[in-house]
């Protein structure tokens, strides 16, 4: 079964160099609504580096349309992968790259938490860790990617061990450049909850402000921490 799944996933990730993927065992980590779906496929789609580089002082219209386009691409991609898996009697649950405001419930507006964290599926798949600004930092593209997940009931074997601690060390570049001052320099590990090192409300307010001032629309967008991370810029070679 594992070979079929691997073959289907690989078949759809074209061109290969734009993607990373991995398999995660999520047993005991998900909410009751996902009962039975204990395994996850994590897929990361690289962003256009030239577009991200220009976000260093704040979001651009080009960045906004790029990430919307990648969201659409990822939703289509997971749809196709799921369709092929379903044809092989493998049950799936696609988790969209993002959620529109209309789909979000009152709990989200009190917590800024959705039902499933793509970043958690990605760390369990061994693809990277959580940085000081709460971004998922992949070994290949740093945070310069968008994530998506497919949940499965079929047991999956991971290629790599889950990553459980941060590899950011003493680097504080994203903390310093954050206009919202949302991070406090504390390192993430799986026992550290988001609010202990990162204030999502400060981040959200800043993103909403940028949406209005830079794009003239009601959108939450920033990306300064994404552009500044040296792992994404390949300036750091200590990634193991």
Contact flag: residue 215 with ligand B12 (CB under 6 A): no
Q: Which residues of 84-110 are buried (b: 16+ CB within 10 A; e: fewer)?
A: bbeeeebebbbbbbeeeeeeeeeeeee
Residues 207, 227, 228, 231: which binds ligand B12 (CB under 6 A)? 207
Residues 54, 68, 139, 204: which binds ligand B12 (CB under 6 A)? 204
Residues 38, 92, 123, 166: which binds ligand B12 (CB under 6 A)? 123
Residues 133, 151, 199, 214: which binds ligand B12 (CB under 6 A)? 133
Q: Is the Cβ of residue 5 or residue 163 nearer to ligand B12 in the bound state?
A: 163
Contact flag: residue 193 with ligand B12 (CB under 6 A): yes
Contact flag: residue 29 with ligand B12 (CB under 6 A): yes
Residues 146, 156, 168, 171: which binds ligand B12 (CB under 6 A)? 146
Contact flag: residue 135 with ligand B12 (CB under 6 A): yes
Contact flag: residue 203 with ligand B12 (CB under 6 A): yes
- For the residues of the chain, what is the DSSP string, one character each? -HHHHHHHHHHH--SGGGEEEEEEE-TTTS-GGGTT--EEEEEEEEPPHHHHHTTTTS--HHHHHHHHHHHHHHHHHHHHHHHHHHHTT--EEEE-SS--GGG--HHHHHH---S--HHHHHHHTTSEEE-TTS-EEETTTBT-EEEEEEEESS----SSPPP-B---TT--HHHHH-TT--B-SPPPBTTS-HHHHB-HHHHHHHHHHHIIIIISSS-----HHHHH-TTTTT------
Residues 24, 43, 85, 147: which binds ligand B12 (CB under 6 A)? 147
Q: Is the Cβ of residue 29 or residue 90 nearer to ligand B12 in the bound state?
A: 29
| Interface map 91-110 toward ligand B12 (x if CB under 6 A) | ------xxx-----------
Contact flag: residue 130 with ligand B12 (CB under 6 A): yes
Which residues are at the interface with ligand B12 (CB under 6 A)? 29, 59, 67, 97-99, 112-114, 116-120, 123-124, 130, 133-136, 143, 145-148, 188, 190, 193-194, 200, 203-204, 207, 220-223, 225-226
């Amino acid at each position: 079964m594992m070979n079929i799944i691997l073959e289907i996933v690989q078949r759809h990730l074209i061109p290969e160099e734009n993607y990373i993927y991995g398999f995660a065992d999520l047993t005991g980590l998900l909410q009751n609504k996902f009962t039975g779906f204990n395994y996850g496929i994590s897929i990361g789609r690289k962003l256009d580096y030239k577009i991200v580089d220009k976000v260093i002082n704040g979001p651009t219209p080009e960045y906004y349309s790029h990430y919307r386009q990648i969201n659409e691409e990822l939703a289509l991609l997971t749809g196709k992968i799921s369709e092929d898996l379903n044809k092989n009697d493998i049950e799936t649950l696609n988790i969209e790259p993002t959620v529109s405001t209309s789909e979000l419930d009152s709990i989200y507006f009190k917590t800024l938490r959705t039902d499933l964290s793509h970043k958690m599926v990605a760390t369990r798949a061994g693809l990277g860790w959580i940085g000081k600004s709460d971004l998922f930092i992949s070994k290949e593209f740093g945070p310069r990617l968008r994530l998506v997940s497919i949940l499965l009931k079929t047991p999956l074997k991971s290629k790599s061990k889950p990553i459980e601690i941060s590899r950011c060390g003493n680097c504080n570049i994203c903390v310093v450049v954050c206009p919202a001052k949302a991070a406090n320099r504390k390192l993430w590990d799986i026992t550290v909850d988001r609010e202990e090192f990162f204030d999502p409300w400060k981040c959200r307010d800043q993103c909403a402000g940028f949406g209005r001032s830079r794009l003239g629309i009601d959108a939450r967008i920033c990306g300064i921490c994404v552009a500044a991370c040296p792992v994404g810029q390949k300036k750091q070679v200590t990634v193991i």
